[in-house]
Chains A and B, each alone.
Chain A
Amino acid sequence: MILTPIPASEVGPISRRSVALFGDAVGDHNPVHFDPEFARRAGLPDTVVHGPLTVALVVDRLVEEFGAERLLNIDVRLRGPVFPGDRLTVEPRAFGEADRGVAVCRANGDEVATAIVILAGDPDQ
């Protein structure tokens, strides 16, 4: 089975303005994304980027590479926090023989997400 390769790319830095815009756009005003003191009381060093914003930025890389019409499905596991100011690398990753996707890492190497991606035009699609 030959799956369409996903090239490596970069995202960010993710600004606090982007976080604010995303929160307003989707109506997610959880203070853990906006209030540093709330985040610290939750045991975090800073506010965290919305998980779906991280996902949206990864989807955007795929849209740029393949076009929206080829995207059928993405299944993302959020594995670690992303903070404002982070730059992320999006690297191809195989998940067994049949699944392919990406791993998303912070600049310090922390893996913050993995995603299985299904594109139209791949075998069995």
Chain B
Amino acid sequence: MKYLPLILANIVRRNRLRNSLTILVVALAILLISLLIGIQAAFTSASEVSDAARLVTRNKVSLVFPLPLSYGAKISALPGVQTVAGGNWFQGVYMRPENFFARFAVQAERFLAMYPEYRMSAAERDAFLRDRGACAIGKSTADRFGLKVGDQIQLKGDIYPGLWDFTIRAIYTVDQDAYDDTQMFFHWEYLSERIAQDAVGFFMVQVRDPEQAGDIAKTIDALFENATAQTRTETEKAFSLSFATMMGNVQLLLMVIGAAVFLAMSMVAINTTMMSAQERTSELGIQRALGFTAGTVGALVLVESETIALLGAALGFAMTLGLESGLKSALASFAPTFHVPLWAYAMGLLIAIGIGAVSGGVPAVRAARLRPVDALHAL
């Protein structure tokens, strides 16, 4: 503690602009890495919170091709199967294309029974189930567009052309950031009646015993092996991961660009901190001449560097916290479950310590090795 005034004076009174910029660069690096971790986590969060007792059955050729509704009854009849709910990806446009959020037509009662994580009041749930033209939307989407229960919304169909009107009867919430509370669900029957098709895009299948899920998936696919539309059944986690894999290239691109920018920022911070210590070689020599041991001088350089890095981290964390909610809205269509997990902050802290160690380590060793007589000759 007795060296604190010396360390702080070196940071605050010497090269203020350069130190401020170094702190800012470290902060931006921490912000960047935190946001990248948040986006990465958003891509994989669906698979992480998937229920092991839920399977997804879809057309073996592609998700784009439908399955006959009648498959649902056959799957339900299989031993170990508890509930089956069919559904379709609706897509559509709400006012403008950029107002994206996921929209599904589902066999609502069974679907909600399978997804207790989507929470809504009993009254809203009943109202939603009773009204065939109703929909349920997540709280984030409701907040994003200022929607409330009772409001009418209209989607312009693209996969299913035409204008589609809905009454919001329920707004669901989630109790974990990893659950997606941006989606919209409406009655599959509403879609089916209008397009006059008895086909679904997928079946959600809940099994009684998660340990039997693998065998049941094989049984389902075997059941339709000789049918016109063959099926592919997988766990909900595998299904979610396949979506994440589809986004893989985007993820990889983001991570590579992010990592490059992060590395460049780290190098800038390291470079400026090293220069700052290098410029003070003679002063460090004076300290050695005054009786500061090699270890003390080296430690002071290192602590100063770590202090700058940690100030940068603190600023970076503050920026991350400040921007997180805004980014969650901005990324709603791209990464709806975006949030910066706690471990990202821990990683940011470790990275800041690492930047401080690398940028301070070399000059610290140099300072410790400095012979005071050489430093005095250099004056």
| A and B co-occur in one complex | no
